Amino acid sequence: MATSMRPIKTGALDARTRLRSKRIAGSGSTWLTLDVYLQKTRPSGFVNDGIRHEVPRGKLSPGGQLRTSTCSLQNHIIGLLRHPFQRASGMSATEEKNTGLSSASPDSGSEQAGYQEAREAKRQIGIVSATFLIFNRVIGTGIFATPGAILALSGSVGLSLFMWVIGMLIAAAGTAVYVEIGTGIPKNGGEKNLLEFVYRKPKFLTTCLYTGYVVLLGWAAGNSVVFGEYILQAARVEVTEWRQRGLGVGCVSFAFLVHGTALKWGLRLQNLLGVLKFVIILIIIIAPLTNLKNTTNNFDNAFEGTTGSAYGIVTALYNVIWSYVGYSNANYALSETKNPTRTLKIAAPLAIGTVAILYMLVNISYFAGVSKEEILSSQRLVAASLFRNMYGETAERALSVFVALSALGNIMSVIFSQGRLVQELGREGVLPFSRFWASNRPFNAPLPGLFEHWLVTVITILAPPAGDAYNFVLNLISYPLAIINAFVAAGVIYLYFNREHRNWHPPVSATLPVVIFFFLSNVYLVIAPFSPPDEGQNIYKSLPYWIHCVVGFGVIFAGGLYWVIWTKVLPKIGGYELVQEERIDKIDGWTRNVFVRKPKGLTGEATL
């Protein structure tokens, strides 16, 4: 095998090429593979891009150099680098196809530049919007609704606060890991890109497993239920299950319509709600300071009543993690982000650092202004109880409205990102009617993807039995997330030990100790919930304690079952094999994959 290395300089872009000869079986000729790896890009460009071209060996000099007559090939590659429309994967084309991350190659440089310009025109998210995407996703109703449950499960004020510290450390580690992933593969999709990059075999299995996780979970359901509860509380209307659920459905429907039909206005409303909830939290923090005569003695003997139950501790930790879910939110919209690498490096730590400080101060404020017994009895209305104690009933009602608006901001952020994940799966070609799910029409927004998440969220809101809806939804979301994050962390650890082989050199590194901590934390969160609860600690009224674990694995395994049917059973019955092709939408410049059916044993074109 002949190998040579040479650099290609393209202004602000540097690349290296690797030439390798190989013989194509049955062809009687030797071909040369030219791999081009992008080493550095402009701030708005990509890193770790890989392009593979194959040319006849006869077009090269004996020393492996390109002949003058074939310099057009090198110029073509330079053109690709100047307009890096290809997906950021760091893989060869063959490898990319195996994982659903292949790159397109238009013949015309001007056409290619047009695609790139169309894509760049879609970038509307800057540092402020990216920060609020995370801030809004993280701060929903968790900090207002879960402290009572966390106190009940941990048994003491001291252990409850310690749970918030542990959750903060896990969220900080997760943020570092996702910043590394996002700067290494800066495109829509979040952890899906990393999972496909690392877990490549069997082909398409990783994507299908992830598909079950994305399309079958109603992420916006929990905060939709709490939105309804706080609105009813503010209106002094009796809180019933179906009133809550009806208002929750209305809330998520509003978020779906705004983001599906008016992208810019949706982002502006999100930012406004982000500012509002920041102000609300500041008011909660200073509330006990304005009325010191009504403060409590919760910090005297703070660890009294501490529980030793593994189930109680891990469930309390799940409640904390639920309150931190969203540190990866900006990763799902990097293809629509201006200067994605720089933006993510600033926005993610800024948002999570701010949230961590606010959360600790809010919990201290709760314990300073509301007695332990009242916190336990108020369940999801701790913040309202604080304001009633400090300022009276009118202030309590006003706060309930503000908390409901905070929930709305979270729901808008959730549906914004989840709709784009569904769209990415449509672009990968793994969903039925993938062209429909991949579309940005007619409002330059992923309306079909948003609709899918809206539909699943509505079902999730309405389906659980009375009394268990909120806790079931909370744990059903958190548990599969721990499974996914364990595989994400394991994948990053693998890349650390195979950097050169897998060409993994992102601008930001989370560092090995941080990734290992994130991995072990999520492994614990996957295993511990199977420990049975002590008497009186089951968080469900009519459901078994393990139900969210079983359903969580079930939604992921449903994707595996889909993979078996789609890639194994149906092709065997139909006598065909699936062949992946990539196409480019000439209107918005996005690429999408199409799977065509090629009859086995035939050499003609694949058929749809």
**Rg of the chain over all Cα atoms, to the nearest angstrom:** 26
Q: How far apart are CA 572 and CA 563, in angstroms?
A: 13
Compute CA distances 353 → 95, 122, 169, 314, 361, whole Å. 37, 29, 11, 23, 13
Between residues 586 and 274, the one the model is more confident about: 274
pLDDT at 143: 85
Given pLDDT bands bounded at 50, 70 and 90, which one contains residue 602? low
pLDDT at 89: 36
Sheet with 13-23: list strands edge to edge: 3-10, 13-23, 30-40, 50-56
pLDDT at 595: 82
Pairing label, strands 591-599, 13-23: unpaired
Helix (H) or strand (E) holding 5: strand 3-10
| Omega before 202 within 30 of 0, i.e. cis | yes
Task: Check if the beta carbon of residue 190 is closer than 8 Å to that of residue 416.
Answer: no
Given pLDDT bands bounded at 50, 70 and 90, which one contains residue 168? very high
Given pLDDT bands bounded at 50, 70 and 90, which one contains residue 458? very high
Strand partners, 15: 8, 38
pLDDT at 30: 37
* Beta-carbon contacts of residue 423 (< 8 Å; ≥ 6 apart): 188, 437, 438, 439, 440, 446, 448, 449
pLDDT at 274: 84
Q: For residue 192, what are its two tokens?
A: 């899906």
Task: Name the burial class of residue 384, with classes exposed (0-12), middle (13-18) and buried (19+) by CB atoms within 10 angstroms of its CB.
Answer: buried
pLDDT at 123: 66
Residue 115 has pLDDT above 50, yes or no: no
170-188: average pLDDT: 91
Q: Give first-to-last CA distance, the chain, whole Å.
A: 38
Q: How far apart are CA 415 and CA 137, in angstroms?
A: 10
Instruction: Report the candidate in 256, 278, 431, 458 with the shortest Cα–Cα distance to residue 359.
Output: 278
Task: Check if the beta carbon of residue 167 is closer than 8 Å to that of residue 324.
Answer: yes
Residue 74 has pLDDT above 70, yes or no: no
Report the range out of 48-57, 404-413, 424-433, 489-498 with the highest average pLDDT: 489-498
Chain-wide mean pLDDT for the chain?
76
Range with the poorest average pLDDT among 67-71, 162-166, 194-198, 476-480: 67-71
193-206: average pLDDT: 89
Residue 350 has pLDDT above 90, yes or no: yes
At 254-296, the pLDDT tens digits run 999 999 888 888 888 988 988 888 888 898 888 887 766 666 7
pTM here? 0.73
410-415: average pLDDT: 87
Helix (H) or strand (E) holding 316: helix 310-324
pLDDT at 514: 96
Between residues 177 and 145, the one the model is more confident about: 177
Range with the poorest average pLDDT among 25-39, 353-367, 508-522, 568-582: 25-39
Residue 299 has pLDDT above 70, yes or no: yes
130-152: average pLDDT: 84
110-124: average pLDDT: 54
Instruction: Report the candidate in 385, 389, 388, 365 with the shortest Cα–Cα distance to residue 376.
Output: 385
pLDDT at 547: 87
pLDDT at 450: 92
153-160: average pLDDT: 88
Residue 71 has pLDDT above 50, yes or no: no
Q: In the 3-class helix/strand/coil scheme, how is 382-393 assigned residue by residue?
A: HHHHHHHHHHCH
385-399: average pLDDT: 82
40-53: average pLDDT: 36
Residue 172 has pLDDT above 50, yes or no: yes
pLDDT at 386: 83
Q: How far apart are CA 284 and CA 366, in angstroms?
A: 8
Residue 78, amino acid: I
- For the chain, what percent of residues have pLDDT higher than 70? 75
Read off φ and ψ for residue 23, nearest 5 degrees.
-100, 125
456-476: average pLDDT: 79
Residue 165 has pLDDT above 70, yes or no: yes
Between residues 455 and 530, the one the model is more confident about: 455
239-246: average pLDDT: 87
Compute CA distances 393 → 17, 284, 293, 364, whole Å. 70, 15, 17, 22
Residue 19 has pLDDT above 80, yes or no: no
pLDDT at 601: 66
Q: How far apart are CA 382 and CA 400, in angstroms?
A: 10
Helix (H) or strand (E) holding 148: helix 147-154
